[in-house]
Amino acid sequence: MTATLPVRAGVVGLTRALCDLPSVSGDERMLADALEATLRAEAPHLEVTRDGDAIVARTQLGRAQRVIVAGHIDTVPINDNLPTRLEGDELTGTLWGRGTVDMKGGVAVALALAVELAEPVHDVTWVWYDHEEVEATLNGLGRLARTHPELLAADFAILGEPSNGVVEGGCNGTVRVELRASGRRAHSARSWMGVNAIQALAPALAALAAYEPATVEVDGLAYREGLNAVGVSGGVAGNVIPDAAVLTVNYRFAPDKTVAQALEHVRSVLLPGDAAARGLEMVVTDESSAARPGLDAPLAQHFVAAVGGTPAPKYGWTDVARFAELGIPAVNYGPGDGSLAHADDERVPVEQILACERGLRAWLSGQ
């Protein structure tokens, strides 16, 4: 029998339990089993559906509006940063360990409230999903949108991604491309007989080094962009002119652009002129849309007013973009500093976990 999680022991203790149950992307099954067992045992007011390692739990109260509260259960790989440790107490201390920021603090808040709130003022769809930290094609929320779109019908969505406990609207989009250079091998003592594919990447690297990323205002929020080389490979041997090389580039773009517009911008920077004649080809390897802030939706405005703080932009990509593609306004709201996500010193002030629990509880309770 699968063990349940300590949902009634306090949200900080629950966060620790979630983090100490490792769930690196692709290995979420044990945590998904525990989530499902906990919901079935502790939340009879919820209709529970499982799809792979994604869990969906819904109230069916006939409310006029439905909101989604969602979070991913996977983490990036562990690097000697589990089990968790708590410095200080469970009211003012700091919780250290993989997943404390990205994003098991947010998962804990959602799970505790899903069990506690049997009669929220809106119908709620609680979603915990797998494979967020890997390529977009594996994303559990994307899979739910394809296989069970009826489970994601809603008027507003809240994603528990780390946002320092304030609302962050929308998100930047991301595209990743490979600039592939082809040449001709030759002995390096007779280099004039070959074509050096690595050196063919030099103009693109120079363009990236000189590139000045924009800050773009969208619906009152300022999104910072970035266009960067994130990988390079090539070479055959120490005495061979290489005939192939690859430069990997990532563009984080503001929500004023579509994916197609973002890719065209990358192409204009990396491949001015006749690229084919220079043996260069750009291949798209990953793409995810940006999302506008969504703060003009009445439910979003009410939520912001209820939890307080000044909304900020989300610079990283999050699954609010998937909700935006479904026509659902969505915001990020969770404990933790996004700049510590994936870091070996990942840590979260427990005050933020408690504050997010209070804010979300108050809003869903109509207080």
Active site residues: 74, 132
Q: Let me know if 76 is exposed, middle or buried by CB neighbors in 10 A (0-12, 13-18, 19+).
A: middle
| Neighbouring residues of 90: CB distance < 8 A, sequence distance ≥ 6 | 10, 12, 13, 350
| Neighbouring residues of 210: CB distance < 8 A, sequence distance ≥ 6 | none
* Cβ–Cβ under 8 Å, residues 181 and 93: no
Across the beta sheet with 66-72, what order do the strands follow? 47-51, 54-58, 123-129, 66-72, 156-159, 330-332, 168-169, 312-313
Q: What is the DSSP string of 332-367?
A: E--SS-GGGTT-TT-EEEHHHHHHHHHHHHHHHHT-
Q: Cβ of 219: how many Cβ atoms within 10 Å?
A: 16
- Residue 22, CA distances (Å) to 34, 59, 102, 290 in order: 12, 29, 13, 30
Q: Cβ of 235: how many Cβ atoms within 10 Å?
A: 12
Residue 253: CA atoms inside 13 Å, Cβ hemisphere, count? 23
- Residue 356, CA distances (Å) to 8, 107, 154, 259 in order: 17, 11, 21, 32
Q: 159 has which bridge partners?
A: 70, 332
